[in-house]
Each structure stands twice: as structure tokens, then as C-alpha cells.
Amino acid sequence: MKNQVPTPHIGAQYDEIAKTVIMAGDPLRAKLMAERFLTNARQVNNVRGMLAFTGTYNGKPVTVMGHGMGIPSIGIYSYELFNFYDVETIIRVGSCGARQNFIHIGDLIIAQGACTDSNYAQQYDLPGVFAPIANFDLCRQAADACEKFGYTYHVGNVFSADVFYSEDTRKNNWTKMGVLADEMEAPALYMNAARAGKRALVICTVSDHMLTGEVTTAEQRQNTFTQMMDVAFSLL
């Protein structure tokens, strides 16, 4: 919808955003992707410091952009990209906390589905509970790419909460249900994609472990989680 842009949150013109967008919570991770992967990258957004860059990867136009933290934040940015900039595909690359003993720091999680305690789906007035899931083709291609690269990966459910510092001890029950990891954005991205008839996928790197207490630093999360980027860009 060209007449809807720029939006209140994205300052780019309509033709400055590619049809495929790779997003990260940290805007500096988007900057890293632009420097590492894009040719002729140019900055197209800095509203609220949410950096976005558009360039080409192997000759294909692509935009990389931050989306902030949490379901409300990615909900806003992905909605505007899908509905106002006519973006067809959004791939989120982010960090997550492992919930299973067989998962280790640095492993990749491909979020086939996203459990949540968020009320985001209530806006659709559905007569039941919606199951937010990834685009199957993207999910399958991401798994194939991990095999090709030799990266350790796991495919399955993640849990996405509205609260980071939670006092609800029942969250540990998600581990019993086989949930692989916690992150904070996938349901909104998947629901916005479903409502708009578009494609979405979340690929995360395990940055900490709920069971062992292992953690990584902010610098490590920003600069060294590049395997998931390799996979995301291979899907273009």
C-alpha cells in the first residue's frame, strides 16, 4: 500500500524495502548482517534507532532490519512490512534459551511452531486457540541448509512469553511438553504472516540454557551468532 508509507515506525519509501526481509531483535545485528552479507547496502531506516539496510545478496534484493524485543514490537514492524510494504517473506534470526538437556549453547533452533502465553491472537476473535506455525517450505529448506553446512540444529516448538523476568514457575511445564527453547517474538510474526497470507520463519541460536545455567555475553550474541545468518541467507 504505497499510500501508507512511510509508516509511523518505518521511514523508508515503498521501493526501498525488498520483498524478503531478514530481521533481528538487535538493530546492531542487522547492521552486522548488512556489512557481512550485502552488496551495495544502503541504510533505509533509523526511526527510533531501528536500523534497516537494503542491498543485494548473490544478486537478489534483500532488506535486513531490527525488530526490537518482544511480541508487541515485532508485531508492529512485521505488520507494517507485510501490509504496507508488501513484503512477502520475513525471516527472524535471534537468540533463545534452551529448555532440553540435549540442546547446547550455540545450537540452532528452527521454530516449527510457537507456543505462547500472549493475548496477541485475541484480536482475531477466533472460536478457539490458534497455533502459530512457520511456513513449511522455509522450515524444510532451513533444515536442509543446516545439514549442508554441518550445523547442529533442532526443529520443533518454542515458547514465547510477554514477560522476561517472570515469577510464574509454571513456565517450567513447557519443558515437559517437549518445547525446545524460549524466545519472545515468533507468535506475532507467524500470526501476522498467516493473516496477510505471507511467509515467515524464525531461526534462533541458543544463547543460554534454562537447565544448566549457561549464558553468553551481549557481545557474543551481537557478533558471533552467524550460523543462523548463513542459513537465513541461503533461503533467498
Residues with catalytic function = 208
Q: What is the sign, positive or negative, of the torsion defined by CA atoms of 20, 133, 83, 22? A: negative
Helix, coil or strand: residue 132: coil
User: In degrees, to the nearest 5, what angle opens at C-alpha 51 toward C-alphas 164 and 83?
Assistant: 85
| Cell numbers describing residue 197 | 497470507
In angstroms, the CA 175 to CA 182 distance is: 10
In angstroms, the CA 69 to CA 76 distance is: 11
Element (H, E) at 63: strand 60-66
User: How many CA atoms lie within 13 Å of 204's alpha carbon, on the beta-carbon side?
Assistant: 32
CB 28 within 8 A of CB 51: yes
| Cell numbers describing residue 147 | 545439514
Q: What is the 3-state secondary structure (H, E, C) of 77-126?
A: HHHHHHHCCCCCEEEEEEEEEECCCCCCCCCEEEEEEEEECCCHHHHHCC
